[in-house]
Structure 1
Amino acid sequence: MNGLWQCISIFVFATALGMAEDDIQIVCTEKSVHITWKVNKSMTGNPARLLLGNCFPTRFSNTSTGEAEAEFIFQFSDCGFKQMATWKYVIYENKLTYRPLPKPYPPSFTYPVRCVSDKPNAWIPYFQSSTSGVIQGHGDLAFHMAILNPEFSGPAESNIFPLDSFVPIWAGVDQQTHQPLLLLLEECVASTTLEMYPDTLTYPIIANKGCLVDGKKSHSTFLPRYQSSSILLHLQAFKFAAGEEVYIHCKLIAWDPDNLNELKKACNYNKATGEWELLDDPSKNSLCQCCDSTCIERSRRDTQSAAQGLVLNSVLGPLIITEDSS
């Protein structure tokens, strides 16, 4: 962690409640928040009317003066916290509310809470709530895939993409107790079916053991990594099966970052130079020279590692690509 966690609180008071500036104290940590809320007599009748997001207080105690103190201690994965990220910060947002009347009546008091931190180098975005995301376990590894919003800060709000727009795709693997792993997309194809059959019509996106072949005829590209165990693909929406549901079928591989070879790589096509380039180490672009021919197996270690559970087939979608550019 590059910097200390800080809490930024925005004060929005209902004047009739007479809240003082120091009645709410918030302490943010890396994974949780601790809030102490001194509530006045008009709010002490029912602790269930005090909420952090959708969570009730973890502790509620009355004082001799007729006031009370509500305490909230929760992880950021609880209470409906909204997680956002920029390339530099991780941000968690929620609200404290007092509801004297049940929904649909609005709360009479709202206090937004915001916890901000420098994004650590090992940070992995958590997109498990995404309806377009895929999370699968394989052995003691957990692979993830998701379609993201244009800022790469969270799940996409829609699965509809106009032709030639960009589909941000994220894939990652939870390393757990493993040595550092490199996440690779060995193969990705688009189809109109959730299941693949021998006669299924497909559109190649990544082929030949990690070559982004779609990049030769579009502006699709692998983006620079922010950590080895995840990869970002900026996929330009293609005309294949326009207007129909499209599924992206990918083969994910968790690999030794120090053992890149012709079969374990991620290669972009540079239109300006007409050359293939290795995403993770431009000094080894020669590993991508086979992208226009056939990348063949050169060692037995690749097969052995695949058998050890470092490979997973995953399906993402459905997407709908429309020909209407608007």
Structure 2
Amino acid sequence: MVAEDMKLECGPDFVTLVWTERRSQADLSLFRLGNCSPTRISAPEAVFSVDVNDCNFRRIVTGDHLMYTNDLTYRSSPDFTYPVACAYERPNNWYPLLYEPVFSTYGLGDLVFHIGLMNADFSGPAESSTFPLGSFIPIMASVSQMTHQPLLLLLEECVAATTAELQPESTLYPIIANKGCLVDSLVSPSKFEQRQKSSEIHLSLQAFRFGLGERVFIHCKLVAWDPNGMDHTKKACHYVKEHGWELLDNSAYSNLCDCCESDCKSRRTRSTASEIKVVCAKDSIKITWKINAELVPYAARLFLGTCMASGFHVLPSGEGQAEFNYAFADCKFKKQTRRMGSTFPEPWRRCF
């Protein structure tokens, strides 16, 4: 269903939405499609031309269809919400992909990162890339979560350089270093702003004297992490005069920032060891997969090919045990022929 003031075009892998605003006082830059600002504004229209893998589109599989849904919102009016949906025929060969853990986070789908200059209140993109000395440069970074569990976005490292690509001979100015420490805040009022979403991070960086007469490029390393897994190497810290180093996401744990003027290293070991047992019959297979306790909350995202676990329970030790009991005709098993003198890798060789 499309609202009277909305035009929606669903392409093969993109969406074009045009919203016609009838209120003369409305600020078109405050419209959002998911977490995306308009790609073009031409009064009275706000236009979004985006990929379905961006903007926090939600993917729903229903029978023979793939559906991508989102919401059109207006930042200054919480009651303004219009649903947006695009439905596509489900390809015959489509099935969920199993991804390796990304920073101890499991999910179905790629992570897409964004970073850019914003206007003063972070409500839309900056109109200029020139900033007077001493003014603030608003920088926003975000990660499109897709079907992942909630993610905490962190800026692990940022440097200013006079080259578009970092080279050994590049002149650098450190902004964020030592695993998330805003070192520039030691000599300026630069700071992280309070989060609106865990998947976004806002940085107010005071413009500094660097690369006079040259273009300046800011290079950053972004990390998406478990919101409950912060440590000395996964954090966002800035220096506050009279208080010292402060953790953005919970000042009560600012001791995680104590290493910002030394060397930040992880002080805990997180084991992801697992144990797999395979029992093969003529036409079927049974797999028992013992997983670390830290992965238990994500058990519903364990797949054997296209098949979910047929059983799962938590052991007294806190570890989890997933069972897959399927016929070889299921789960997209692939038939392979063993060459003479070769062997299959563990644990599969016990089936042959």
TM-score by length of structure 2 reads 0.51
1:78 aligns with 2:24: no
SS of the counterpart of 1:297? coil
| Distance in 2, Cα, partners of 1:119 & 1:243 | 44
Name the SS for the 2:181 alignment partner: coil
Higher relative contact order (CA 8 A, sep 6+): 1
Residues 119 and 246 from structure 1, CA distance in 2 versus in 1: closer, same or farther, beyond 3 angstroms? farther
Matching of residues 86-105 of structure 1 within 5 Å: 94-95=43-44
| Code of the aligned partner of 2:44 | K
Letter of the 1:240 partner, please give it: F
Q: Write the distance in 2 (CA, Å) between the matches of 1:242 and 1:269.
A: 27
2:237 corresponds to 1:291: no
Residues 172 and 238 of structure 1: CA distance in aligned 2, closer, same or farther (over 3 Å):
same
1:270–1:194 Cα change, 3 Å: same
The structural deviation recorded for 1:152 is: 1.2
In structure 2, distance between residues paired with 1:91 and 1:297: 36
Structure 1 residue 34: deviation in Å?
A: 1.5
| Structure 2 residue aligned with 1:68 | none
TM-score for the superposition, normalised by structure 1: 0.55
Partner of 1:132: none
Greater Cα offset, 146-155 or 223-232: 146-155
Q: Report the Cα offset of residue 244 of structure 1.
A: 1.4
Q: Which runs of 5 or more residues in structure 2 are unaligned?
A: 10-14, 21-27, 46-72, 80-101, 103-108, 274-352
Identity of aligned residues (%): 49
CA drift at 1:193 = 0.4
Specify the alignment match of 1:232 in structure 2.
Answer: 202
Tell me: CA distance 1:119–1:208, structure 2 relative to 1, closer, same or farther (3 Å).
farther
Counterpart secondary structure, 1:78: strand
* 2:236 matched residue in structure 1: 266
Q: 1:34 to 1:196 in 2, by over 3 A?
A: same
Deviations 1:182-203 (A, max 9, x none): 0000000000001112232100
Show structure 1 runs of 4+ deviating over 6 A.
90-93
Residue 263 to residue 161, structure 1, CA distance change in 2 (3 Å): same
Q: Which residue of 2 aligns with 1:277?
A: 246
3-state SS of paired residue (1:160): coil
- Does the 8 Å contact 2:7/2:17 carry over to 1? no
SS in 2 for 1:153: coil
Residues 211 and 291, structure 1, Cα contact 8 Å, conserved in 2: yes
* 1:254-277 deviation digits (Å, cap 9, x = unpaired): 00000100000000101122x101
Q: Which runs of 5+ in 1 are unaligned?
A: 1-28, 36-71, 97-114, 121-137, 305-326
Q: CA RMSD in A?
A: 3.2
For residue 138 of structure 2, the aligned residue among 151, 168, 177 is 168
Decide whether the 8 Å contact of 2:7 with 2:18 is kept in 1: no
